[in-house]
Amino acid sequence: MLLGTILKRLGQAADAAEALAAMGDMVLLTEVQAMGELHDETPAEYVCGATRRFAADASSEEWLALMTAVERGDDPARATLERMLRWALARDAAEVRAGEACGHGCGCGHGGAGHAA
């Protein structure tokens, strides 16, 4: 399957939900559900958004790591989805931590000092 086809299918909620369930990774599913809840998204919506954010914002190094994982893996679709979700979860978790550090949930990360509420 071509990468473009994989990305297009993951951009559709039904296909994204099916792909996530087919992975059988309960830890990853739990993480996606929890992060999705923080953003008022279903797991399928979170997957769709995560793949779009990766496609738009991932660095060249992250794309190279994705392509390496696809080449070395037995299942290109699974490797793509897992790499993109791990990337999105790490970024979203960092944003949540930064928002908690501020205390205002704005993500500024300065602990509230000098923050205009």
CB distance 58 to 90 below 8 Å: no
| Confidence (pTM) | 0.72
pLDDT tens for 55-69 read 999 999 999 999 999
Residue 110 has pLDDT above 60, yes or no: no
Contacts of 65 (CB under 8 A, 6+ apart): 83
Mean pLDDT to the nearest integer, 73-100: 88
Q: What is the pLDDT of residue 65?
A: 94
